[in-house]
Amino acid sequence: MWEAFDVGLPDQAAGRAMIAQQLLNGLVSGGVYALFALGFTLVFGLHGILNLAHGGVLMAGAFIAYYTVQAGLPLALGLVLAIIGGGLLSVLLEFTAFRRLRRSGEVEFGAIISSIGANLVLVTIAQRISHTQVMRFPFGTFPIVIYQFLGVRVSALQLFMAACSLVLVVILTFCLYRTGAGRQIRAVASNERAAVLVGTNPNAVYFQTFFLSGALAGAAGVLVGLAFNSIHFMMGEPYLLRGFVVIILGGLGSVPGAMLGSLLFGMIQTLTIAYLPSGLTDAIIYSILFLILLVRPNGLLGKPAAGVMRGRR
């Protein structure tokens, strides 16, 4: 379709425009990855929990928005409900899947197992609800408007996605670094026992981080559902798997790292799809992940933790 569109431009300019177009597309999808990966990395960075049910929360967000729109309500409400619902679901996960593990002292391994279990539960429930069908937003849920300038096309949806990602990321950063709650969160993360001694309630902190994390994933779910206009019970899995690449690229546990990682990853992925054999995309992406772990396991902005000896857990 690009050939048709670019007719009339000199070859070189067309090539440049195409690269610009790919980079733009990558940037937009990177924003969505950021929404997903920020919560993922936040919960790991603060609590040492790798929440493999995070993809399930993304999927749940998309489901909530879909059924809201199906009920004849506006998409904006669907987005808000998905954010709230994603947050609450994530809190529920903390309560059912992780709370007891925190006391057992084997969080690292236990959390992975427990969240795999929780994810299976979420996915199966969604499969039942949707009768294993792929669902689509009704036509016209989001107006199809395309702007173009300098040979680059931007759809209204892309602008909306970018704006959403930006706003939510800014809100998260604000919550984390500029509010009392954020300071408490970071205090508990650095030393739970000391934070308790000075009167911080760790359970409240876990509530806040899981809510923030889930809310972002819920929003990401809606955006993903809109972008591909396809909502199904397995939609969380590729995001979970790619989320790993993003957070490792940025540095596991690092919030700024996850932002940088998402944008980079979005662009790498779009360029790979555009310029390399399509069947190899996944192989290349995961080889990159493996390579990062090999060369720079702490990612771009992470703390040195990847090779730290495990002592008594």
The reply to whether 110 sits near another protein by the rule CB under 8 A is yes
Give the single-character DSSP code of 277. Answer: -
Q: Which amino acid is at 124?
A: T
The reply to whether 279 sits near another protein by the rule CB under 8 A is yes
For another protein, which residue of 32, 65, 97, 263 counts as binding (CB under 8 A)? 97
The reply to whether 262 sits near another protein by the rule CB under 8 A is no
CA distance linking residue 101 with residue 175, whole number of Å: 27
**Between the CA of residue 296 and those of 37, 211, 252, 268, 278, what are the distances in Å?**
19, 31, 11, 18, 27
* Range in contact with another protein (rule: CB under 8 A) among 34-42, 79-87, 217-225, 283-291: 283-291
Give the single-character DSSP code of 146. Answer: E
The reply to whether 144 sits near another protein by the rule CB under 8 A is no
The reply to whether 43 sits near another protein by the rule CB under 8 A is no
The reply to whether 311 sits near another protein by the rule CB under 8 A is yes
For another protein, which residue of 108, 153, 273, 274 counts as binding (CB under 8 A)? 108
The reply to whether 304 sits near another protein by the rule CB under 8 A is no
Q: Which residues contact 42 (CB under 8 A, 6 or more apart)?
A: 172, 176, 209, 212, 213, 255, 258
The DSSP line for 147-186 is EEETTEEEEHHHHHHHHHHHHHHHHHHHHHHHSHHHHHHH
Residue 105 region, left (φ>0) first, then alpha (ψ -120 to 50), else beta? Answer: left
Give me the least distance between CB of 173 and another protein, in Å please.
24
Per DSSP, which regions of 168-246 are E strands? none
For another protein, which residue of 14, 95, 117, 136 counts as binding (CB under 8 A)? 117
The reply to whether 175 sits near another protein by the rule CB under 8 A is no
The reply to whether 112 sits near another protein by the rule CB under 8 A is yes
Binding positions for another protein, rule: CB under 8 A: 44, 50, 96-97, 100-101, 104, 106, 108-110, 112-114, 116-121, 123-125, 237, 241, 244-245, 248, 252, 277, 279-283, 286-287, 289-290, 293-294, 297, 306-312
